[in-house]
Structure formats: structure tokens, C-alpha cells
Amino acid sequence: MTNLYKLLPKRIEEVDVIIAGGGTAGCIVAARLADADSNLSILVVESGRDNYESPTVIHPALWRGNHVPSDPKVYVHKSAKEKQLGGRESLIQVGNTLGGGSSINLMMYVRAQKCDFDSWNMEGWRSEEMGHYMRKVETYHGTGTENKHGVDGPIHVSKGPFRSTESEEDFINAMMQVGYPRVEDMQDLKSIGVESIRKYVSSDGRRQDTAHAYLHPRLRDGKHPGLHVLVETQVVRVMFDEDLRASAVELRPNPAFQPDRADDPARVVKARKLVVLSCGTLGTPSVLERSGVGQAEVLENAGVPLVTNLPGVGHDYQDHHLTMSCYKSNLPSGTTTDDIHGGYADIPKLLSNQDPILGWNGIDASSKIRPLDAEVERLGDKFKQCWDEDFEKVENKPLVSLIFVAGLLGDRGDIPQGQYFSMAPFTAYPYSRGHVHITGRSIDDRLDFVTGFLTDKSGFDLKTQIWPYKKQREVARRMRIYEGEVSHRHPSFPPGSTAAYNGDIETIEEPASTMKDIVYAPADDKIIEDWIRMNLTTCWHGIGTCKMAPLSSLGVVDENLGVHGVQALKIADLSVIPGNVGSNTMNTALIIGEKAADVIIRELGLWQ
């Protein structure tokens, strides 16, 4: 019996701390507070379901099952139609289960760069200080830079029980042929190059989500009686007393999971000490605005009484811009994710046999890369101006992360059975910004959500995708496993264009080491531009909508994560990041959780 509920017992009317959101960071905050004082009453409120021992959560190879439209472990935010994206709506998936994104993501272990934290210019958040939390969170299995990795943290980092070594080494060798060094440990906060990566997977093949690593053990050990978790329940708003102190939250059953309780009245639970919002980059600003905290004009239009005017709420949304290209391979069956994700594998048999491939996410190598000087020049004057201002002198700042996937990424459509591989470059530091705001008082009212992808006036973000599209094509052509392109997952160049490389391996007559790069005419670049606009998507790395900065810079929280203008309200999720990170974002979310817990423990006087 645990203190995990779908319906909160009537006896729980008031607790010490309410954590709104049981995602990646929220689970960490709850667990660390419970450790600091086992009698501290803590209520975690999660809109999604419990994830305990869910097969598609704990087995890395089944991650794709969490991303189908019918799966309840994700919630899909739909953006406005955006002209610069060909009039498309963007579908942004977020975690909707305990553990949040850590329960459904691709489990890549990639840290931010030193320059990222230092550029935030916030006391207590510089790279030297954040290194402590990087070590605290992890148990690192493997060699690496001395004193950079943790040895006894809750989250295990390993290469897992299965790898597709042939494709991994092939990608790394091809990257070296186009000019990038192989790095033994690229998670040293400074390296640029390509590496054989580790992941948030244990050596025996289990996903390392924060619900299983932090929350569930404490719910089941009988030592944390004050820890309570309420699932399938939405946070409508935070309530404030006359001193603008967060004093309660209003909750309702999530009708997606509990339709029979859709007409139940909202319930109010009081917080004696603190409310922590951890609802994510799109969820947290929405809760704030429904609570009366936000830009006055937005709240007036939504019919929400103003508590405090905080113009930065919901502004400056950003996400790593991602495109995906796919290729045919000569890899044997069982060495890509295609049999599993294509529906050809006998999943029950794999589970029964505890097959090691279940502990694999299909990603064994990745890179952080920068263009050569000559390539910068070819990208144009406006690109070069941005490069010179923000990149040229910061040598450990990547332009792009290029990920290799042993399998077909994206919609499989009518692609025939086979073994494929994919290249997925994402823009590390996009200039484009969007926003997310409420349009009404109800949690069911639509959001005014604009991604802003590719809206920067300089065109830098578009050029930053054109360059890696060409680069990853050259990498793919130099791989031994390459058998040609999946044509409809690439731009369609006209016959006669030198860019219309047909991708047939039999046409390659020269060795990869002396192969000449494909030549693109201006008309080819325009075709690539149009393809990017129609295919660019989220990397599921949304940040920045409640950023940590002064009020004068549209900040929402201070360096201690306290919301400006009110009391006893903090935010602990990726919405607080004031500048982007040159990495996948799970590691940053983890250390935000650990840092937030330390701040709260100190402020509540719980240091032992």
C-alpha cells in the first residue's frame, strides 16, 4: 500500500509543500524534500497516469509506443498555423505520466556545454556550481574525464546491454572522414566532435526515469509517510492570500482519464509552506496565467483577475529545430529498431526471453559539430555576422547536434519492411522565439501557442538547417552500411541537378576516403529551404517561457527560482532556462530538479 492516489483522501486538506507536476524535475524535488524530512507533508499532483513498471516506459526499445497519438502517456499541444512553416500546425508532444519526459524520451545522455551555464549570468548557476549536480544525479558506468562523473547517484548512465556496433563505428568513421574528431568523453562540457554515447539506461537495460529512480522507491519503503502522490489530476490554478503568498492550489480530475468524475467540483488543497510549479515549458506558464500571474493584457483578454503583472510569462518559447532524413542500409535484421518499431518483431517473445535488444534505444553515436571557416563564408553575410558575434570566439559552442539512429525515424507510412538508418540534426541555439498564453479562464480553453520556428529576421536558423542537411548526406554516403536514400524523406531535386544524387550504392565507384562532395546550385538550396519549412519539427526540448532573469529582462523567476512579485511560489522545470543549451535537455532538467531541491531545503531550514 502506497500513498499514491487517483482520488485524494478527504483527510488531506492541507500539506506543507505542493508540487504541481510529477515530471522529470518534480519527482526529484519531491524525493529530496522527503529525504530531508520524512515527516514533511508533500503532495505531488500529476495530470497523467502512474508509470510504475509500464512496459513501454521501462524497456527502452519500446519508446516509440509512447509517441503514437492514442497513447495516454503523451499530451499533444497543437500550435497555430504558421506561414513560415508552410502553413502547418506543429504538434508538440509532452510527457503526460509520472516521470514526465524522462518516461517517454529517447534517453540520450548529453550534457550542456560550459559556455551555456556561464552565459546565463545567474548567481549559483555557473558551470562550476552545476557540475556538482551533474555528478550528484548519476552513477556513471564507464571511463571518462576524471572528476566529471558521478559514482553513486540515482540515475544510471551506461551503454546498456545491446548496441549495433557495426553501424555505430561506421557513423563515427564517416564523421571522422568529413573532418570531426572522435572524442572519448564528449560530456566534459567543452568538446566538439563525435562520440560513442551512453544513455539513461542501466547496464541491465532499464530506462532511468525519475519516477522509478526517485519517487517510487520512497513511496514503497515505508520511511517517507509524508510523501503523497495524486495522479490523473490537473492543477487549475494557484491561489494567493492577501499578502500575495501562494497558499493553495485548485485541482480537478483529469477528464481524459476519469470521465465519470468530469462534473465533480474542483477541490482546493492548502499549502502551509510552499507551492512548486513543475508543469513544463508549456504547462507552467498556463497555470501561472490562470492564477493571475502574467502580462496584464493577456490576463484581461482571458478574463482572469490580475494578481501581479509579470510580462515575461509565456514569452520567449524556444525549442531545438529538428529535421530527419532516412537511408536504406545493408544491416542484418535485429541490428536496427525497424523490426520492433515496424511491427515485425514478436514483442511478447522478446519480453519473455528478456532479450537484450529491449534495453536499446537505437542510438549509439552522436555529435556536436561546427562548420569550417569556408562553410561559414558560403552560408552568406547575415549568417556570418551572427556566427562572428555569437559562435566564432566560443570554440566549445556547437552549431548543431547530429544524431545517428539505427532505424527509421518519423512516420513509417508505406515504407517497405527493411533495415534503415536515420540522421537527425538539431539546431543547438536557435534565434527564433515563440510564445504560449491562455485565451480564457478555463483549463479547457485553447492556448494561443506559436512556436516561432524559423522566424528570426537574419535567416540564421534556416541556414543552420541547410548546412547540416548537406553535411549528413555526405556522412551517409561514406558509410559502408549505406544502400541509398529513402527518397520521400529528402528534398526532391529535378532531373539533371547535380544535387539529384539517386542514392544507389552501385553508382559509387570511388572509395569513401576520396569521394567528392555533392555540388548544389542556388536552385537546389531553394528546394532544400522549402523542404525544411515543410518538415522541420520539434526536438521535444522546449524551454524558456518562465525564464530566470531580472524583471527588466522579462524574467519570471529569480536565481532561487522564486516567482517575481509573489511569495512562496517557485518553478522547477525547463521553463526557467534563460538561454539554450547545446545538448539534449534531460540532463539539464535533472540538475534543475536537484538544484531546486537544495534551494528549497535550505530555505525551509531542513539542512541536516
Mean pLDDT for all residues in the chain: 96
pLDDT in tens, 541-590: 999 999 999 999 999 999 999 999 999 999 999 999 999 999 999 999 99
- Give me the DSSP letters along 298-317: HHHHHT---SEE-TTTT--B
pLDDT of residue 461: 98
572 and 478, same domain (yes or no):
no
| C-alpha cell read off for 525 | 538550396
Is residue 193 assigned to a domain?
Answer: yes
Choose one of 534, 556, 585: the last residue of a domain: 534
pLDDT at position 505 over 60: no
Q: β-pairing, 365-369 with 193-196?
A: antiparallel
Calculate mean pLDDT across residues 476-480. Answer: 97
Q: Is the pTM of this model over 0.85?
A: yes
Give the CA angle between residues 80, 89, 406 to the nearest 5°: 140
Tell me the torsion sign for CA atoms 113, 118, 119, 120.
positive
Same domain, 329 and 424: yes
- Are both 45 and 29 inside the same structural domain? yes
Same domain membership, residue 173 and residue 55: no
Residue 132 DSSP SS3: helix
Same domain, 462 and 493: yes
The residues annotated as belonging to the active site are: 541
Annotated binding site for FAD: 235, 540-541
Residues 191 and 294 in one domain: no
Is 535 a residue whose pLDDT tops 50? yes
Q: What is the CATH number of the domain that holds 19?
A: 3.50.50.60
CB hemisphere CA count around 139 (13 angstroms): 10
In a domain, 341, yes or no: yes
308 and 336 part of one domain:
no
Does any domain span residue 353? yes
Length of the chain: 608
Domain match, 173 and 75 both: no
Specify the pLDDT at position 33. Answer: 98
Q: How many helices (H) and strands (E) does the chain have?
A: 16, 24
Give the three cell numbers for residue 557. 523567476
187 and 82 in a single domain? The answer is no
Of the residues 506, 534, 562, the one at which a domain ends: 534
Provide the domain count of the chain: 2
Q: pLDDT for 360-373, tens place per residue?
A: 999 999 999 999 99
Average confidence (pLDDT) over 124-133:
96
**In CATH, what number is assigned to the domain containing residue 458?**
3.30.410.40
Residue 2 is predicted with a pLDDT of: 86
Residue 145's region, left for phi above 0, alpha for psi from -120 to 50, else beta, is: beta
Indicate the pLDDT class of residue 115, thresholds 50, 70 and 90. Answer: very high
Q: Measure Cα distances from 172 to 70, 114, 294, 363, 480 in Å.
A: 36, 24, 47, 12, 11
In this prediction, residue 1 carries a pLDDT of: 61
Are 14 and 27 found together in one domain? yes
Is the residue at 123 inside a domain? no
User: Would you tell me how many other CB atoms lie within 10 Å of the CB of residue 506?
Assistant: 8
CA–CA dist 328, 420 (Å, integer): 5
- Would you state the pLDDT for residue 514? 76
Q: Is there a domain that residue 377 lies in? A: no
Q: Is the pLDDT of residue 304 over 80?
A: yes
* CA 452 – CA 8 distance, rounded (Å): 39
The continuous run of DSSP H or E covering 247 comes out as strand 246-253
Q: How far is CA 4 from CA 1, 133, 144, 276, in A?
A: 8, 28, 39, 19
**52 in any annotated domain:** yes
pLDDT for residue 510 is more than 50: yes
- Whether 130 is in a domain gets the answer no
- Does residue 146 sit within a domain? no
Written as nine digits, the cell of 471 is: 553535411
pLDDT of 538 reads 94
Confidence of residue 507 (pLDDT cuts 50, 70, 90): very low
What pLDDT sits at residue 511? 65
Q: CB–CB of 547/576 below 8 Å?
A: yes
Q: List pLDDT tens digits, range 277-298.
A: 999 999 999 999 999 999 999 9
Which pLDDT score is estimated for 502?
Answer: 63
The domain boundary residue, chosen from 508, 534, 560? 534
Residue with cell 519492411: 417
C-alpha distances in Å from residue 375, one per residue of 82, 172, 250, 324, 467:
30, 21, 54, 21, 8
Question: What percent of the chain has a predicted confidence (pLDDT) above 90?
Answer: 92
Same domain flag for 346 and 266 = no
Strand partners, 270: 14, 248
296 with 278, same domain: the answer is: yes
pLDDT tens-digit series, residues 380-432: 999 999 999 999 999 999 999 999 999 999 888 788 999 999 999 999 999 99
- Does residue 506 carry a pLDDT above 60? no
Range of the domain at 496: 161-197+320-370+398-435+450-534
- pLDDT tens per residue across span 139-196: 999 886 668 999 999 999 999 999 999 999 999 999 999 999 999 999 999 999 999 9
**CA–CA dist 583, 367 (Å, integer):** 10
pLDDT band at residue 608 under the 50/70/90 scheme: low
